[in-house]
Structure 1
Amino acid sequence: MLVSDVMTAFPAHIRLGSTIRRAAEVVSVSEVGQLMVIDHDGRFAGSLSEEDLVRAMLPGFDDVTAGGGTLADAFRIFLEKGRALADRVIDPLVVRDTATVSPADELARAAIVMVERGIRRLPVVDEGNLVGTLSRADLCRAVIYHS
């Protein structure tokens, strides 16, 4: 069985140069934990996870202790930092050395890569173009419907 047999076509994606606010909106609406990032020519550039977004907004220990040290203070600082970063571009947060698979790759190979590297969603790239994603849920569907 091939990646193309079970991949999700038309994955949630965002372009380089988009704002952190826009990325948060797309994550929220699409309900995926990882966005694929394409460049201005429509070519695959990397990925951006919700974890990357949240980590960028998390206050440091020194920030929290300087702000009072309570959980309420930490959350307030988190919100303030999020508002301050909202209009910045995502480019520095994009993971560019992302593992990818081809639609013609064997599904078993992709599954091994995902498990060994702890990846939840792999970009499916064909000649530099993003053509889909392969998630762990896609793998589970393959087992259920093709056994």
Structure 2
Amino acid sequence: MLVKDVMTAFPAYIRLGTTIRRAAEVVSVSEVGQLMVLDHDGRFIGSVSEEDLVRAMLPGFDDVTEAGGTLADAFRLFLERGRALADRVVDPLVVRDAATVRSGDELARAAIVMLDRGIRRLPVVDDGTLVGTLSRADLCRAVIYHS
């Protein structure tokens, strides 16, 4: 079985230059934990995860301690930092050396890459063009419906 047989053909994506606010909106609306990132010519560049977005907004331990050290202080700093970063571009957060597979690759190969590297959603890229994504849920569906 090939990756193209079970991949998600219309993945959630953003382009370089997108604001952190917009990236967070797309994550929220699409309900995926990882967005694919394209350049202005539509070529695959990398990915940004919800974890990357949240980490960018998390205050450091010293910041929380200086603000009083409570969970309420930490949450307030988190919100303040999120507001301060919202209109900045997501580009510095993009993982540009993302592992990828091709649509014609064997599904078993993709599954091994995902499990070995702890990847939840793998970009499917043919000749530099994003053609889909392969998630762990896609792998589960392959087992259920093709066994």
TM-score, L = length of structure 1: 1.00
Partner of 1:13: 13
The percent identity for this pair of structures is 87
**Following the alignment from structure 1 to structure 2, what is the Cα–Cα distance between the partners of residues 129 and 43?**
5
Letter in 1 for 2:89: V
Gaps of 5+ in 2: none
Partner of 1:45: 45
Superposition deviation, residue 53 in structure 1? 0.1
**Following the alignment from structure 2 to structure 1, what is the Cα–Cα distance between the partners of residues 2 and 137?**
15
**Following the alignment from structure 2 to structure 1, what is the Cα–Cα distance between the partners of residues 30 and 48?**
13
**Following the alignment from structure 1 to structure 2, what is the Cα–Cα distance between the partners of residues 112 and 34?**
19
Partner of 1:69: 69
SS of alignment partner, residue 48 of structure 1: strand
Deviations 1:66-124, CA, capped at 9 Å, x for gaps: 11100000000000000000000000000000000000000000000000000000000
**Following the alignment from structure 2 to structure 1, what is the Cα–Cα distance between the partners of residues 91 and 117?**
23
- Equivalent residues, number: 147
Pairing of 1:82-97 with structure 2 (within 5 A): 82-97=82-97
Superposition deviation, residue 27 in structure 1? 0.2
Deviations 1:22-59, CA, capped at 9 Å, x for gaps: 00000000000000000000000000000000000000
1:119 aligns with 2:119: yes
SS of alignment partner, residue 98 of structure 1: coil
Gaps of 5+ in 1: none
**Following the alignment from structure 2 to structure 1, what is the Cα–Cα distance between the partners of residues 74 and 117?**
32
Letter in 1 for 2:41: D
Letter in 2 for 1:140: C
Partner of 2:104: 104
